[in-house]
């Protein structure tokens, strides 16, 4: 995997897009996460949602952008939009790589595209922004799990780690932007929490559905042992998802704010690791 592009400031906030240009070695195995079918396809299913999902997030925030008067928030929104745009582009490259490996990522991408078109027609701007806040909380929880617990990525092909590490760092950096726009422009506790409840069911259900869609379109047999071990990996021991319970529930508190959890130290540590892996020391300097 290569990633060579300069780091340049695009706004006056601390949230700066890091331009990457990842390429994926065609010799990399289909099951690049420790040869494990379940883990590889679970992350691939999530990746299939990212390009269209990130664009949905940007649109929901942009709807209110012109009404924001706080100069700091306006700059942070610019950083958020820049980072999300790059995430979508890089995951499109990854999804194409997996499609070439015989994993039907385009089919899931198209499903997500149609689903988000429906939401854009049926949901109010307030609900769309609340959904963005909910999904940003999910991605921030997962991102910071990767940053705080290096064992989560244990076994992943070293050529694949930079993509997920970079994405996790930036998701953690901008985790409060959509929330702050929501608080500034909408600020309804009921809309925020009810949308999180609905989105939770949606997120779990569609992740399972997308995983099944990928499996059904492939030319090898399902590894049921991998599935059983994967469910244990998520919910049993070590139980990565189970460990997120407290962070998830905190979202329903009236006084919740994403930045109450300070993750700057783990981001800095991860940036140093990323810079070393890619031979780009300026990445760590740009933190």
Q: What is the pLDDT of residue 8?
A: 73
> pLDDT under 70 in the chain at which residues?
1-7, 286-287
Domain interval for residue 269:
37-285
Residue 172 counted as domain residue: yes
Structure tokens at 172: 């953690």
Cα separation, 137 vs 227, in Å, equals 26
Residue 96 counted as domain residue: yes
**What are φ and ψ of residue 142, in 5° steps?**
-65, -40
Residue 16 counted as domain residue: no
Read off the pLDDT of residues 265-286 as tens digits, 9 standing for 90 and up.
999 999 999 999 999 998 887 5
Query: What average pLDDT does the chain have?
Result: 95
Question: pTM for this one?
Answer: 0.95
Residue 19 counted as domain residue: no
Do the Cβ atoms of 130 and 181 come closer than 8 Å? no
Residue 240 counted as domain residue: yes
Residue 261 counted as domain residue: yes
Do the Cβ atoms of 206 and 85 come closer than 8 Å? no
Question: How many structural domains does the chain have?
Answer: 1
Residue 225: its H or E element: helix 224-235
**DSSP character at residue 106:** H
Q: What is the pLDDT of residue 280?
A: 92
Residue 278 counted as domain residue: yes
Residue 27 counted as domain residue: no
Read off the pLDDT of residues 141-175 as tens digits, 9 standing for 90 and up.
999 999 999 999 999 999 999 999 999 999 999 99
Structure tokens at 122: 């049926």
């Amino acid at each position: 995997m290569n990633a060579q592009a300069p780091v340049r400031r695009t706004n006056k906030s601390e949230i700066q897009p890091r331009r990457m240009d990842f390429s994926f070695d065609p010799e990399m195995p289909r099951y690049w996460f420790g040869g494990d079918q379940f883990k590889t396809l679970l992350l691939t299913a999530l990746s299939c949602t990212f390009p269209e999902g990130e664009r949905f997030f940007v649109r929901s925030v942009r709807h209110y952008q012109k009404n924001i008067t706080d100069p700091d928030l306006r700059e942070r929104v610019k950083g958020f939009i820049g980072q999300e745009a790059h995430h979508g582009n890089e995951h499109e490259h990854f999804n194409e790589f997996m499609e070439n490996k015989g994993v039907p990522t385009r089919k899931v991408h198209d499903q997500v595209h149609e689903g988000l078109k429906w939401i854009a027609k049926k949901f109010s701007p307030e609900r769309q922004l609340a959904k963005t806040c909910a999904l940003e909380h999910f991605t921030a929880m997962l991102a910071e799990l990767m940053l705080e617990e290096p064992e989560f990525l244990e076994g992943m092909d070293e050529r694949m780690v930079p993509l997920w590490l970079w994405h996790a760092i930036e998701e953690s950096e901008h985790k409060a932007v959509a929330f702050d726009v929501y608080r500034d422009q909408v600020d309804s506790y009921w809309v925020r929490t009810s949308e999180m409840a609905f989105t939770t069911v949606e997120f779990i259900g569609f992740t399972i559905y997308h995983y099944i869609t990928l499996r059904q379109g492939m030319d090898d047999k399902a590894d049921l042992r991998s599935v059983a071990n994967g469910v244990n990996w998520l919910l049993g021991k070590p139980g990565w998802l189970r460990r997120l319970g407290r962070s998830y529930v905190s979202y329903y508190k009236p006084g919740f704010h994403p930045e109450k959890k300070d993750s700057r130290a783990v981001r800095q540590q991860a940036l140093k690791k990323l810079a070393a892996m890619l031979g780009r020391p300026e990445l760590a300097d740009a933190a």
